[in-house]
Amino acid sequence: MRISPYNLLHMESARYSRKFYDEHKYDLFISAYTDEEIVKNTYNHIESKEKLWLIFPEYELDLEKITGEIFNPALEDDNTKESDYINAMYQSYLDQNIGKKICIDTTGFNKPYLIYLIILLKEKNVQKIDFIYTEPQRYVKGNKTEFSEDSITPRDIVTFDESFPARGENDLFIVNVGYDSRLVRRVLDGKRAKIKPLLGFPSLQPIMYQENIINLIKSKSELGINENEELLYAPANHPFITAQVISEYIEAYIEKYGVEEIKKIYLSPLATKAQTIGMTLFYIFEKKKYQEKDISIHIRYPFTNKYSSSSSEGVFRINKYTIEFNLFDKIKT
């Protein structure tokens, strides 16, 4: 019987309360600063010997309003900014704390930085770490919410792999569709591949699924969706089920078309941070298996110079994900 390590990773969810913070104490707590209540509340209430605010340049924040230790390096190359930033932060803060109890709040992260951070932790042989993702009660502009502004440039997120095989006839593009339909259109960028949408269901709030569908319809032609299209679904707050859904679908897809016709698999995380974690876990845990079949996996993202630092209201639920990076080394899948 096949055992999936994704099913063994631990997730804990709780309604927002003081009790959660009382039960979780850390040596180092890292969070990305935004103007949102869900980010500030966790930072202020969680108990940790050391706390750090990450300042992402895309938010264009007023640093004079921020209290606490901040990390705000100068970045020169837009094509490697996520790796340059996270490598510098790792050397300054994480390297000397590995082995201690560390928690990273992903709620305010820009996704490329979060993805590279998770990949780096695996590369550095970090054994275990906690991630937090806090769910909002609503998005301020509902289905019209846009998280990015300015020009959008799609490219692959920096990884440690340099394998780029030729295009295959049935290359696969899995798009985790979110609210911003512009991002869906731009990230595809004329890619010739089988496009498979992945939706967050159940959603964080019931109304959010309806709002997400409205934006999915806006991108219907780019995604190539027809009336009988079978979409992929995974809970919007559950990274481990997201990874499992992707894993099972790709295995079935390759079994159908054969490895000779598939050379590239693209993953595009455009929805929640939880599902972004799930896509990244699939990448780091299963990329080697597909590389051995001459199939490369790419995480593609629509980069922009400016993101909204305040798009949600209220605090609904807080999720803690404990990731053990060596599970796949212990379990034969």
Distance, CA of 190 to CA of 183 (rounded, Å): 13
Of 191, 189, 190, 193, the residue nearest 170 (C-alpha): 193
CATH topology for 5-138+313-330? Answer: Rossmann fold (3.40.50)
Of 209, 200, 288, the residue nearest 241 (C-alpha): 200
CATH architecture designation of domain 142-307: 3-Layer(aba) Sandwich (3.40)
Do 309 and 151 contact (CB within 8 A), yes or no? no
Q: What is the pLDDT of residue 149?
A: 61
Integer CA distances (angstroms), 264 to 21, 28, 171, 233, in order = 42, 38, 5, 22
Map tokens 């301020």 to a residue: 140
Cβ count within 10 A of residue 68: 11
Which helix (H) or strand (E) segment holds residue 217: the answer is helix 206-218
What is the mean pLDDT of each successive set of 10 residues along the chain, which is 333 residues long?
Answer: 71 76 92 93 94 95 94 93 98 95 96 98 94 82 55 90 77 88 78 87 75 69 71 94 96 93 94 96 94 94 80 80 84 52
Q: Which amino acid is at 256?
A: K
Please determine whether the domains at 5-138+313-330 and 142-307 fall in the same fold group of CATH: yes
Contacts with 314 (C-beta within 8 Å, 6 or more apart), sequence order: 37, 38, 136, 137, 138
Burial 289-327 (b: 16+ CB within 10 A, else e): ebeeeebbbbbbbbbbeebbbebbeebbbbbbbebbbeb
Q: What is the pLDDT of residue 3?
A: 58
The model carries a pTM of 0.91
Helices (H), 61-110: 81-89
Cβ count within 10 A of residue 259: 14
- Per domain, the residue ranges of the chain are 5-138+313-330, 142-307
Q: What is the pLDDT of residue 207?
A: 65
Classify residue 142 as left (phi > 0), alpha (psi -120 to 50) or beta. left
Q: What is the pLDDT of residue 130?
A: 96
Distance, CA of 182 to CA of 180 (rounded, Å): 5
